[in-house]
Amino acid sequence: MVSSHPLTAARDQAFSKYGEIAHLNVGAARCSVSVNSHITDNENRPLGLIGGFESIQDQATFNELLHMGYEWLRKHQCRQLRGPIVRHTWYSFRAVVEGFDNGPQLTGEPWNSPLLPELLRQGGFV
């Protein structure tokens, strides 16, 4: 599924010169998975990237998005996964795990729901 937001569409078009991306939805919840030809594992296989988690309110929905992401990445020959990251480090990556009362201190810093750290832990991310 392709995002209808013009900025996302422009970023996806630029990224398509060296990678592939998919935007996944379960109801209102969403995330993005991508393969960047410049990011590989130790055996020079594509390294899967997952991130951009939004509007996720429960572990079941998060797990469903993860499963969809894993399947997409497997079809693209990925055997390892990193996240949260979308496309590469010039875009959204990392997650806030504490300090939710203060908001981001710098423009461009990640910001996410206070639920995300536990969803990530329960989903197998450390």
DSSP per-residue string spanning 18-50 = TEEEEEEEETTEEEEEEEEEEEE-TTSPEEEEE
- Return the half-sphere exposure (C-beta side, CA atoms, 13 A cut-off) of residue 56: 28
Prediction pTM value? 0.77
Q: Which residue has the tokens 């832990």?
A: 121
Mean pLDDT, 10 residues at a time, over the chain (126 residues)? Answer: 60 77 90 88 89 85 92 93 72 64 70 79 78
* CB 21, CB 55: distance < 8 Å: no
DSSP H or E run through 117: helix 116-122
Name the pairing type of β-strands 46-54 and 80-82: parallel
The answer to whether residue 1 sits within a structural domain is no
Residue 33 belongs to domain spanning: 6-122
Count how many domains the chain has: 1
pLDDT at 60: 92
The answer to whether residue 22 sits within a structural domain is yes
The answer to whether residue 57 sits within a structural domain is yes
pLDDT at 2: 42
pLDDT at 1: 45
* CA–CA dist 107, 68 (Å, integer): 31
pLDDT at 88: 60
pLDDT at 123: 81
pLDDT at 64: 93
Residue 114 belongs to a domain with what CATH number? 3.40.630
